[in-house]
Chains A and B, each alone.
Chain A
Amino acid sequence: MPISRNTAIAIIAVLGALLVFRIATADERPSRIIYPEQRLPLRFSHAQHMGTVKMSCETCHTGIRTSASSLDNNLPQEADCVSCHAIDRTKPEKTTAGPAAACVRCHPSYDASQGRIERVLLPIPNLKFSHQGHLARGDSCETCHGDFSAVEEASAEHLPSMRTCQGCHDGKKANDVCTTCHLAQAGLLMQSEFPGVGTLSPSGSLRGARHDMEFRTSHKYAAQNDSEFCASCHRKDFCQDCHNGIQKPMDFHAGDYVRIHSMDARRNSPDCSSCHRLQTFCQGCHSRMGVADDEKGGQFRGTGAYHPEGWNGGGLAGRSANHHAFEAQRNIKQCASCHREHFCISCHSAETGGIRANPHPRDWRGSRRCRALVKRSRRMCLRCHVDPAIGC
C-alpha cells in the first residue's frame, strides 16, 4: 500500500520525537566513569527484606560502619545471608519452609549440571568515599541512596550522583574541593582519564561547562570568571598547548586551512588573537611566502595586483565601496598581516611629506577616546604628529 507524503512525514516526526525523548530522558544516570559497568546476576528484593520483613540495611551490609574506603566490597557475603537463609552448599536445591535456601533462588544463573553460578562483577568506583565517616557524622543510608523499602534489585542507578553529594558538599557544610571525592593525580589535579573505562568530563551541572562536541569553540565564557574550575582537571600546559601551540590543531583548523583562513581573519572570528599575534605570526608567514608588503621581496609590492580597483584615492566624498578605509576601520588586523605601521604613516602622517590623509574617526577631537589615548599613550600620537603640543 503506497504511503502518502504526509503520512511519511508524520511517521518520521513521531519516530524522531520518540528518539529525542528516549535519549533525553536517559540522561540523569550516575556516571559510568565514576561507577564502571557492574554485573549483578542476583535476585534480591530490597522491598521484601526492608519493606516486608523490616530489616535494616546493616543487617546484611554488616561492615558498612567500619568501611573507610571505596576499595572495600560492602556487598553481603554468604555468611551474612545464612543467618536467615539455611544455605547448604552440599544441597544446592534444598527447599525450606522459611527463607529460600536453594541456590537458584538468589542466583538465577545457577547451572545445576555444572554447579556454577555467574559471578558478580563490581568494579571499584573511581571515587574516594568513607561510609564510616559519613555514618559517624549522622548521615543515614537514605541520605545518599534513597528509600530502598520499595526497591527490588539494586543497581548502579541507586548509587548517588554528584548532585546528591552537593547537597552537603557545598563548601560550607562540607568541603567542596573536587579531590575530596574524586581521585587525584600528582599536584592534586583531578584524575579524568580512566584507561579502559573512559574520560570523566563535566556534566554541566556545576558551571554550565558541559564538554560537548562544540565546547572547544565556546569554552572561553565558562573559563573567563572561574579559571580555577578549569584548573581542577587541566594544568596550564593544557591551555598552552593550543593557545600557544606550535602545531596546527588538525581538527580545529582542518584541511586546507591555509587557503580558507582569510575569511576567518577578515571577520576575526574565531578571534585570531587568542593564539596568534599580528606582528609575528601573520606577518612572519606572509613575509615568508612573499605576500607581505616587504620592501625586500614582497611579490605584490607596487604591482597593484592584490587589491581591487578603487582601493585608494577619491577622498572622503569620492570613496568607492572597495576603498581601503572601510576595511581598515573595520578590521585593520587584516591590513597589518601584510603592512607595517610605517606603510600607513607614509600617507596618513600629519607631518612628514605624505598626503596627510586624516585617519581619525569623525568627531575625534574632544572625544573621550582621544583624551584617553593622549593622556595615557602620547608617544603613539608622535608617530604621526611631530608637534608636541598636539591634543584633543
Chain B
Amino acid sequence: MAEEPEPGIVRRLRMPWRYGAGFSAALLLLLSARTSQAYEFEVKAQTVGQGATLRTLGLGANSSVLRRRRLTQSLQLSIWDLAGTRDAFARWQPQGPKGPRYYFASYLRLDHEQGSWASGQLLLDGRLVDVIDAIPELERTSLQLDILYGYFGAEGLAGGRIDVFAGRQMDVQTLDWFSMDGIKIRAHLPASLQVEAFAGLRVRDNSFGATDAFSPDGTSSAFCEEFVEGESYGSGGWRPIDGLPITMGNRFTSDAELCPQRDEAMPTLGFAVATEHLRKFTGRLSYRRSHSSSPGILGEVDRLDNPDLGYYPFESEIADSGVNEERLALSLRGHLSPGGSLRLTPYAAVRYSVLHGLIDEAHLGTKFVRNAHSLEPEVFYSAPTFDGNSIFNIFSSEPYNDARITWRFSPKTHVWSSYLRGWGRRYHSEDAQQAVDAVGLGANTYSGGGQGGLRRRSGGWEVRVDAFAEAGYGGRRAGALLAGGFEVSRDLALHGRFSLVHLGEGSPGTLEGTAGGLQAGVRYRLNRGIATSLVVEETSNAFDSFALAAVALVDLAFQPKT
C-alpha cells in the first residue's frame, strides 16, 4: 500500500527525468507557480534502439542484406487536476470532492530510422538524386516528431453533465479509431445515455507532427500526380509532379511533399450516442464524416513542358470538395447472467460506409462463460473500402464471411490457461458465377484453419506453447511457438521464444519452405521507475541462413509486470 499524501499537497514525479532542457524549464515553471499545490503530473519516457538485417528478395546474385537501425524516444506527459485537489483525494478515498477535473495529457515521439537505402543517393536518368526523392515513402520513417496526442480535458462541468476535450485526440469510435485536432463535447444525459459531438481537422500523415497510421487507408497520398493538359482541354494525362529542383540536396524532404491533394486539410465532424452506467447492456451509435477540398491551381510548382493550371482535369467543373470517409456504425453488447455461474455476452456490430453505399463490416457473436471456461461462436463480414480519393474503391469488390469458434480456459488462479480456435472463410465474388467456375476459382474461395495454446504460470515461471495450421486461399501454413519466461528476481527477468513454421504459398507464387526463429531477452530493473530490456532475435529459413535483429530499450516510469 502506498503512503498517504499530505492533505492538499500532491506532487508526484514518478521517475528521474532528463529529457530536454526546454521541457525541464517548462516543468520548473509549472512547479514554481503559485498553484503548484493543486496538481500532480506524470512523466513516462522510453528510449528504444533497434537494429536488424533484412535480406532483399533479389533475383539471384542481386540479393543483398540491408542493415536497418532505428532510435526512438517517446515521452508521455500528463498533468492532472489542474484546478483543484479532487484527484488527490479521490485516489485515496472512495469519494473525492465534487466538481470538475481539468487536465492535460500528451504523448510525443521522436523517431529516427536509418540504414541501407534510407539515406544516400542513386543515379537516376543520368542524374544523382537523393534516394529519398526516388522513393518518397522512405521519408516517413527517416526523422520525424510525432505528436500522438496532446489535449486538454475538462470533465464534470455543469454539475457533472458535460465533458470537453480540446486538442489532438485519438478516439475509438465503434469498429475503428481515428485522430483529430479539434474539440469533442460529451454530455451525460438522464436515462443512462451520453451524447458526443466532435469537430476538427482529421489527423493524417501530412498533418503537423502526425504519423501515417492515422490516415484513412488507401493510396491517394502515396504518389502525387497532376493532370497535364494535352493539345485540347481535357485531353492530357496524369504525370508525376516534377518538383525535384526544389528539394534536391535535402535528405529529409522529398517530391512527395508536392502533393496538393494530400496537403488539403480534412475537416471532420461526427457524433455518437452511447449508453453509460448500464450493467446488462452497452451500446454505441456513431457517425463520422471527413472531407477535403479539391486543390486548385498549382502555380509555380508546375514546370513541365505542357504546363497546366490545375491538379485535376476540368478543374472548374469538378466538385469543390470530396468525401474521404463517412461512416455510420452501431455496436450492441449484452452482459447477462441467466443463472448459476453462467454468463452470456451476446454482441452485434455493423458499420455502414455512406461514402460507398454499403455495409463494410459486420460482426455477430455470443460469449458463453461458465467459471473458467468460455465458448464464443461468431460470424464476421468484411468488404474492403478505402479513402474516398483512392481508385481501389472500384477495383476492390469482393467481401468475405468468417465463421469462428473459440474455447478458452482461464481460471482466476492463472496457473493454467488454454484456448482452441477454429475459423473458416468464404469469399463472395461479384463476378458472374459462370466466370468463376470457368477458371476453376471455386476451390480457392475458401480458407480456414485452427490454432490452440496452453500456458502455465507458476512461481515466477511462465511457459507457453501455441500451434496453428491454416490452408485455403492465401496458402498453407503450419507451425508452433514455444515461449518461456523466468523472473530470477524482482529486478531481473529472462524470456525466450522459439518458432518453427512451415509454409506453402498458394497462387500466385510457389514459395515453399520452413522458417525458424529464436529469441532471447532479458529485462533488468535498475531502480524503481527505470528498467532496461534487451531482445535478440535470430531467424533462419530456406533463403537466409541468418537474419539478426536486436532491440534495446530503456524504460522510465517502468512498472514491473508481476
- When distances are taken between beta carbons in the complex, the residues of chain B under 8 Å from A283 are 137, 222
| B-contact bits for A241-266, CB 8 A (1 contact / 0 none) | 00110111011001111111011001
Task: Find out whether the CB atom of B134 lies under 8 angstroms from the CB atom of A196.
Answer: no
**In the complex, which residues of chain A have a beta carbon less than 8 angstroms from the beta carbon of B412?**
27-29, 31-32, 203
- Chain B residues in 8 Å Cβ range of A378: 318-319, 322
Q: Is the CB of B444 within 8 A of A376?
A: no
**In the complex the two chains form, is B474's CB within 8 Å of A124's CB?**
no
Given contacts A240-B170, A263-B505, whether A187 and B95 have CB atoms under 8 Å apart is no
Q: In the complex, what residues of B have CB within 8 A of residue A159's CB? A: none
Q: Is the Cβ of B408 less than 8 Å from the Cβ of A345?
A: no
Q: In the complex, what's the smallest C-beta–C-beta distance from B386 to chain A, in angstroms?
A: 8
Q: A256, B222: Cβ atoms under 8 Å?
A: no
Contact at B440–A256, with CB atoms within 8 Å? no
> Contact between A244 and B211 (Cβ–Cβ < 8 Å)?
yes
**A213-B135 contact, Cβ under 8 Å, with A199-B562, A208-B345, A256-B516:** no
A188 touches B87 (CB 8 A): yes
Contact segment of B18-26, B27-35, B299-307, B356-364: B356-364
Name the contact of A71 in the complex, choosing from B1, B12, B66 (C-beta under 8 A).
Answer: B1
A residues near B317, Cβ cutoff 8 Å: 388
Name A254's contact: one of B237, B430, B499 (CB within 8 Å): B499
CA distance A5 to B416 in the complex (A): 28
The listed residue (B12, B58, B222, B519) touching A250 by CB distance below 8 A is B519
Contacts of B235 in A (CB 8 A): 386
Residues 69-93 (chain A) with a chain B CB within 8 angstroms: 71
Q: Are B356 and A373 in contact (CB under 8 A)?
A: yes
Closest to A319 in B: B439
- Picked from B95, B213, B421, the residue with its CB within 8 Å of the CB of A180 is B95
Measured CB to CB, the nearest residue on chain A to B125 is A296
* Contact assessment for B80 and A186 in the assembled complex, using a CB-CB cutoff below 8 Å: yes
CB distance from B344 to the nearest CB of A (A): 8
Select the stretch in A44-52, A101-109, A297-305 that faces chain B.
A297-305
Q: A225-B283, A342-B225 are in contact. Are A195 and B421 (CB under 8 A)?
A: no
Bound together, the chains give a CA A223 to CA B419 distance in angstroms of 21
Enumerate chain B residues within 8 angstroms of A352, measured Cβ to Cβ.
237-238
Q: Which residue of B80, B312, B326, B535 contacts A382 across the interface (Cβ within 8 Å)?
A: B312
CB distance from B74 to the nearest CB of A (A): 8
Q: What 1/0 flags go to B383-416 for Cβ under 8 Å of A?
A: 0100011111111111010100010111111101
Complex interface bits, A326-368 against B, C-beta within 8 A gives 1, otherwise 0 = 1111111100100011101100100111000001111000011
| Contact mask for chain A residues 1-27; partner B; CB cutoff 8 A; 1 contact, 0 none | 000000000000000000000011111
Contact, CB under 8 Å: A197 / B331 = no
Question: B263-312: which have CB < 8 Å to A?
Answer: 274, 276-279, 282-284, 294, 312
Tell whether A151 is near chain B: CB-to-CB under 8 Å.
no
A176 interface contact, C-beta 8 A = yes
Contact at B515–A246, with CB atoms within 8 Å? no
A residues in contact with B313, CB < 8 Å: 382, 386, 388
Given contacts A236-B105, A345-B391, contact A166 B499 (CB under 8 A): no
Q: Could you say which of B335, B367, B392 contacts A332, with CB atoms under 8 Å apart?
A: B392
Distance in Å from the Cβ of A205 to the closest Cβ of chain B?
7
Contact indicator A221/B365 (Cβ below 8 Å): yes
Q: In this complex, what residue of B is CB-closest to A170?
A: B279
A342 and B238 in contact (CB under 8 A), knowing A280-B140, A328-B396? yes
- The answer to whether B430 touches A255, judged by C-beta atoms less than 8 angstroms apart, is no
Contact call B372/A376, Cβ cutoff below 8 A: no
In the complex, A227 Cα to B275 Cα: how many Å?
12
Query: Given that A246-B70, A277-B212, A336-B392 are known contacts, is A299 also in contact with B57, CB under 8 Å in the complex?
Result: yes
- Compute how far the CA of A257 lies from the CA of B477 in the bound complex, rounded to whole angstroms: 12
Docked pose: A371 CA to B314 CA in angstroms: 20
Closest to A171 in B: B277
The yes or no answer to B559 lying at the interface (CB within 8 A) is yes
Interface string of B159-172 (1 = CB under 8 A from A): 00000000000111
Q: Mark A173-191, 1 if CB is under 8 A from B, else 0.
A: 0011001110111111000
Would you call A214 an interface residue if the criterion is a C-beta within 8 Å of the partner chain's C-beta atoms?
yes
Chain A CB within 8 A of B526 CB: no
A residues less than 8 Å from B48 (CB atoms): 246-247
Interface centre among A183, A223, A267, A368 (most CB of B within 10 A): A267
A379 touches B389 (CB 8 A): yes
**Which residues of A lie under 8 Å from residue B358 when comparing CB positions?**
368-369, 372
Q: Say if the beta carbon of B503 comes within 8 Å of chain A.
A: yes
Chain B residues with CB below 8 A from A348, complex form:
395
Partner of A376, one of B116, B322, B417: B322
Q: Is the CB of A255 within 8 A of B517?
A: yes
List residues of B (495-524) whose CB comes within 8 Å of A's CBs. 497-501, 503, 505, 507-511, 515-519, 521
Is there a chain A Cβ closer than 8 Å to B181's Cβ? no
CA separation between A236 and B177, bound complex, in Å?
A: 12
Q: CB-CB < 8 A to B419: which residues of A?
A: 212-214
Contacts of B367 on A, CB cut-off 8 Å? 208
CB pair B54–A289 under 8 Å, yes or no, is yes
Residues of B within 8 A of A23 (CB): 372, 409, 411, 413, 416
Provide the residues of chain A in CB contact with B111, threshold 8 Å: 246
A145 contacts the other chain (Cβ, under 8 Å)?
no
Q: Which residues of A lie under 8 Å from residue B90 when comparing CB positions?
A: 179, 184, 188
Q: How far is the CB of A273 from chain B (nearest CB, A)?
A: 5
Complex Cα spacing A194 to B2, Å: 10
Proximity string of chain B (516-547) to chain A, C-beta cutoff 8 Å, 1 when within and 0 when not = 11110100000000000001010111011001
B122 A296 Cβ-Cβ under 8 A:
yes
Interface-central residue, B101, B234, B398, by most chain A CB under 10 Å: B398
Q: How long is the Cα–Cα vector from A216 to B403 in the complex, in angstroms?
A: 19
Indicate which residue in A24, A277, A289 contacts B215 across the interface (CB closer than 8 Å): A277
Whole-angstrom CA separation of A172 from B279 in the bound complex = 11
Is there contact, CB below 8 Å, between A185 and B91? yes
A223 to chain B, nearest CB (A): 6
Contact of B396 among A308, A331, A377 (CB under 8 A): A331
Contact with A380, one of B174, B279, B345, B391 (Cβ below 8 angstroms): B391
Q: Which of A130, A210, A221, A331 contacts B94 (CB 8 A)?
A: A130
Given contacts A170-B279, A199-B562, A380-B390, A27 and B372 within 8 Å (CB-CB): yes
Contacts of A294 in B (CB 8 A): 134-135
Among A197, A206, A290, which residue has the most Cβ atoms of chain B within 10 A? A290
Q: Which residues of A contact B251 (CB under 8 A)?
A: none
In the complex, B483 has a CB within 8 A of chain A: yes
- Closest chain A CB from B477 CB (angstroms): 5
A351 to B92, CA, bound (A): 70
CB-based contact A329/B398 at 8 Å: yes
Given the interface pairs A224-B175, A225-B284, the reply to whether A376 lies near B213 with Cβ below 8 Å is no
Which residues of the partner chain B approach A199 to less than 8 Å between Cβ atoms? 561-562
> A291: CB under 8 A from chain B?
yes
With both chains docked as a complex, state the minimum distance between the C-beta of B11 and any C-beta of chain A, in angstroms.
10
**Top-6 shortest CB links A-B:** A255-B517, A255-B499, A372-B357, A208-B345, A171-B277, A279-B222
Cβ contacts A to B, 25 pairs, < 8 Å = A23-B372, A24-B370, A171-B192, A176-B277, A199-B561, A208-B347, A227-B172, A235-B76, A235-B78, A237-B44, A239-B172, A243-B213, A246-B70, A246-B72, A250-B551, A255-B499, A257-B517, A259-B515, A262-B475, A288-B135, A291-B56, A308-B509, A372-B355, A377-B323, A386-B314
Q: Other than the known A276-B213, A388-B318, what 16 A-B pairs have Cβ atoms closer than 8 Å? A: A27-B411, A223-B172, A225-B333, A227-B172, A243-B177, A244-B211, A278-B218, A280-B137, A289-B56, A291-B56, A300-B59, A321-B440, A326-B429, A326-B441, A341-B220, A377-B322
